[in-house]
Amino acid sequence: MKRIVLLFFLLLPNTSNADEGLKLSCTNMLSEFGRNYEPLIFKLEVTGFHYFDKISKKFKAIPANELEFGENRFTVKFPEYEFGFQRIIFEGETVPTITMSKYDYINNRFIDHYKCDSERVYVD
């Protein structure tokens, strides 16, 4: 009998899930005016912020302790620029939208603005 119970537990499918993360797909707002931009894909997890580096052609991560968090926002800093993500509600809407602004340190100005779609995903 013990062998049958042990065999049952060994064959029982394991359906445990890891922590949830947030997958962000951000499209440049100039796309609304007919320009074609490739969306930027990011993942925010408890451990950090993950992105694809086009120069090295590798996925990279910035640890969570290097990110700046505030109420309804977080900021990711790179050497030349920063991404500022913010959850806002546009006028006439009831559902919050995540937007991202790219701030250029060299020119001391915002250079791009993005609207992001978010999806909850499980951490790999």
- Sequence spans of domains, the chain: 15-122
Compute φ and ψ for 29, nearest 5 degrees: -65, -20
> Residue 67: what pLDDT?
94
Give pLDDT tens digits for 60-103. 999 999 999 999 999 999 999 999 999 998 889 898 899 999 99
* pLDDT(106) > 80: yes
CB within 8 Å of 122: residues ≥ 6 apart: 17, 18, 19, 20, 21
The CATH number corresponding to 15-122 among 1.20.120, 2.60.40, 2.40.128, 1.10.3120 equals: 2.40.128
Is the model more confident about 14 or about 63?
63
CB within 8 Å of 87: residues ≥ 6 apart: 72, 73, 96, 97, 98
Give pLDDT tens digits for 32-67. 888 888 899 999 998 899 998 888 888 899 999 999
Q: Average pLDDT of 107-111?
A: 94
* pLDDT(7) > 50: no
Helix, strand, coil percent values for the chain (each to nearest 5) = 15, 50, 35
> Residue 114: what pLDDT?
95
Three-point CA angle 108, 64, 114, nearest 5° = 45
> Residue 28: what pLDDT?
93
Compute φ and ψ for 17, nearest 5 degrees: -120, 150
